[in-house]
Amino acid sequence: KDERSSILQEKQNEGKAFSVNHYLNDKSPMPQDIIGPRILTPGGLLVIGGTPKIGKSHFLLSLLAHLAAGRSFLG
C-alpha cells in the first residue's frame, strides 16, 4: 500500500498536480504583481468579459499598449 501511494505521489508531481493542503501550507513569498493589487500576477489568468459591443477589445488593446510602454493604466 505504501508503494502504491508513493507511486501515485510521484505521478502527481510529474503532472504538476498538488493537493489543496500543499497550497494551504505554502509559505513562499507572493510574486510581484504585473497589474496590482492582485489583478494580474505572474502565471495568473485574467478574464475580461462583458456583453457584445461594450468595448472589451478596445479596453484590452489600450491595456496592452500601456503595459508595453511601461505607462500607468487607469491611474
Instruction: Report which of residues 36 and 62 the model is more confident about.
Output: 62
Look at residue 75 and tell me if it is in a domain. no
Q: What is the pLDDT of residue 34?
A: 77
pLDDT digits (tens, 9 = 90+) for 18-44: 778 887 888 888 788 877 777 788 888
**Total structural domains in the chain?**
1
List the one residue out of 42, 35, 38, 40 whose CA is nearest residue 75.
35
Write out the residue range of the structural domain in which residue 64 sits: 2-69
Neighbours of 40 (CB within 10 A): 13
